[in-house]
A and B are shown apart, each in its own frame.
Chain A
Amino acid sequence: MSERETRLMRCFAAVFPELSPEEIRNVSSRQTGHWDSLSVVTLTSLVQEEFDIEVEPEAIPDLNSFDAFRAYVENACCRSSQL
């Protein structure tokens, strides 16, 4: 697991403390009853703070799983490192 993924896992664990690491990797808006607008807002704030990136409001509806967040963070971090 990359260092970036470990940090993202910690963000998810803070919002979904009842999920195991394996469950976090598979979590999505379709698979858990805990995934709601509040958890998305909190995850977005955590990710912005943890990775020092801006999450655009238009991107939020698509951030509906751990994988989606991971892909967004990877892209955003790559973009900022190229600047």
Chain B
Amino acid sequence: MKLIEALEIVRRSGSAASSSRIFLACGITPLHLQTFLAAELFLAEPSKRIEMRTGLFGDLAGNLERFNADGVDHLAVALEWSDIDPRLGSRSLGGWRESQMPSIVETSQMSLARLKHAIVAASAKVPTVVSPPSLPLPPMFTCPRTVMSSYEGQLRSAVASFIEQLANEPGVSVVNAQYVDERSPLLSRYDLKAELSSGFPYSLQHAAVVGKAFADLIRLSAPKKGLITDLDDTLWKGILGDDGIEGISWDLEHHSQIHGMYQQVLASLASAGVLVAVASKNDAPVVQEAFKKRNLLLSEGDIYPNEAHWGRKSESVARILKTWNVGADSVVFVDDSPMELAEVRSAFPHLECIAFPKGDDQAVWEMLKRLRDLFGKSPATEEDKLRATSIRQAESWREMGSFPEADADNFLKTADAHITFHANAGSSDRRAFELVNKTNQFNLNGRRFSEGEWRELLKAPTAFLVTASYTDRFGPLGKIAVIAGRTSGRTMHIDTWVMSCRAFSRRIEQQCLRHLFETFGADDIVFDYVPTPRNGPLREFLVGLVESPLMPELRLSKSHFLAKMPPLFHVVEESVHV
């Protein structure tokens, strides 16, 4: 992005109705970094105008220590070497004598400890993103630049340790140096003339990259949920039907190592909770035999379902999406055949179709990086890891949906279901925040929240947050429901209610309402219901529960609910976060 484009975008953002409030903390003049960050944030979320505040020049630590989180949604910290010790920048003439080096290292270590303390304290109040020093160090060391001096090693080691500690903090996201390295060449990052004249050391190109990195971390897009892969010349090199089981490969010996790397990435994604399925035109028994006889890096257990037949790929994709119960826009399809990609794309325009670049290892490498970006989330929660297993179990539950009422009761009675309600976990519950922002079907109003907005909502004195975890004899589902709202006397206002589609047909939604009525001693619950194109399951549930037409501020009395409540067989436990 050019500076003029960024300025024009920022000007357009002024008319947006709501706002996103950012505090940019830096010791340099914020100047164009501020502009690029505001422009990128507006592009990512055009419904919000960007309000940016900054601190004092040359005092990053002080800016952080004085930071007041009121009215701020996100904190962005742009750290540079001169913030660690002014002698590491060009505007100070404090000396670069050999004898001063121990003092520079010592001051830097103390500064980093102070900065870490201030950043951690701020991140407890608002989500915080940090960009590590990205400029080259000045020519301050006595040895030739080809040699890493001991002092430079100590400085870099201190910063690496600082970054590693921040990366482990729950409220902090650190810009990955490799991301910046790939987009901004080191030699063209630094603008000495601008630093000396205005205190802004970044070239425009570098400021654009750092601004984009900040914006990407502040507005992390929802990760995709599932990947459907082809087999021949994609998961492995070769055509199973022609080359036979022994003829397919993914190793150095057969010049097909890149297919092994693709398998390795898929196995890694599966282990982090991404759903992985196969859609292949092949004979199913041969495919099963290949998975059994050959030692793939992606095991058969990582894949569900495995659609191998000679029908159309779009039919396979339709069945897989139904089994997973996720929308096409949450899924990626990978195939080496342009024809198959086109056929699937025409049936599912919102599904992301990616060509596996046959015979071009470097292009596959780039594709693997793209997959990481599409599915990237940090860190994977226990619930993510349970997802694939629970989808297999969901088949028997889906069948239960068509049972007569008495049979359904019997099935549920023998399920040995346990629900644990967690109250008052607050905004530190990452899983609750994620679930609210990715659930579509059982979602009261489809409302999404930034991390700052979520924290703000739960800060209110009358606010409540209840989450539910579920397990039965088929296995655990983890945390699957989130209810948030406000209490007003004996009335509860539910502003947010989501439940994972994996948890349907278990009467968990009824148990949630019963729990709210009993635990909070409420007489009425008012739902902030808004129909969305995708919240049909929630709508059907409410239609079966209330007599009035569905509308915003939908009210349900306790007596009416108890009259309508079906038999519930769960063992209910409570866990209160103190």
Q: Classify the secondary structure of B's interface with A.
A: helix
Stretch from A21-29, A45-53, A69-77 forming part of the interface with B: A45-53
Given contacts A41-B31, A41-B198, A45-B32, contact A14 B193 (CB under 8 A): no
Closest residue to B194 on the A side, CB-wise? A45
Judged by a CB distance under 8 angstroms, whether A32 is at the interface is no
Contacts of B197 in A (CB 8 A): 41, 57, 60
Q: Classify the secondary structure of A's interface with B.
A: helix
Contacts of B32 in A (CB 8 A): 42, 45
Judged by a CB distance under 8 angstroms, whether B7 is at the interface is yes
Contacts of A57 in B (CB 8 A): 193, 196-197
Contacts of B8 in A (CB 8 A): 14
Given contacts A45-B3, A49-B4, A57-B197, contact A17 B204 (CB under 8 A): no
- Asked if residues A14 and B7 are in contact (CB atoms below 8 Å), the reply is yes
How far apart sit A14 and B198, CA to CA, in the bound complex (Å)?
Answer: 20
How far apart sit A56 and B194, CA to CA, in the bound complex (Å)?
Answer: 10
Closest residue to A50 on the B side, CB-wise? B4
Contact of B204 among A10, A38, A45 (CB under 8 A): A45
Given contacts A41-B198, A57-B193, A57-B197, contact A49 B2 (CB under 8 A): yes
A-contacting residues, B1-43, CB 8 Å: 2-4, 7-8, 11, 31-32
Contacts of A50 in B (CB 8 A): 2, 4
Contacts of A10 in B (CB 8 A): 4
How far apart sit A15 and B8, CA to CA, in the bound complex (Å)?
Answer: 9
- Asked if residues B4 and A46 are in contact (CB atoms below 8 Å), the reply is yes
How far apart sit A70 and B262, CA to CA, in the bound complex (Å)?
Answer: 55
Closest residue to B205 on the A side, CB-wise? A49
Judged by a CB distance under 8 angstroms, whether A63 is at the interface is no
Considering residues A14, A15, A60, which has the most beta carbons from chain B within 10 angstroms of its beta carbon? A14
Additional 6 contacts, C-beta under 8 A, given A11-B4, A46-B4: A10-B4, A41-B31, A41-B200, A42-B3, A42-B32, A49-B3
Residue pairs across A and B with Cβ atoms less than 8 A apart, 22 shown, are A11-B4, A14-B4, A14-B7, A14-B8, A14-B11, A15-B7, A41-B31, A41-B197, A42-B3, A42-B32, A45-B3, A45-B32, A45-B194, A46-B4, A49-B2, A49-B3, A49-B204, A50-B2, A50-B4, A57-B193, A57-B197, A60-B197
The 3 closest A-B pairs by CB, nearest first: A14-B7, A41-B198, A17-B11
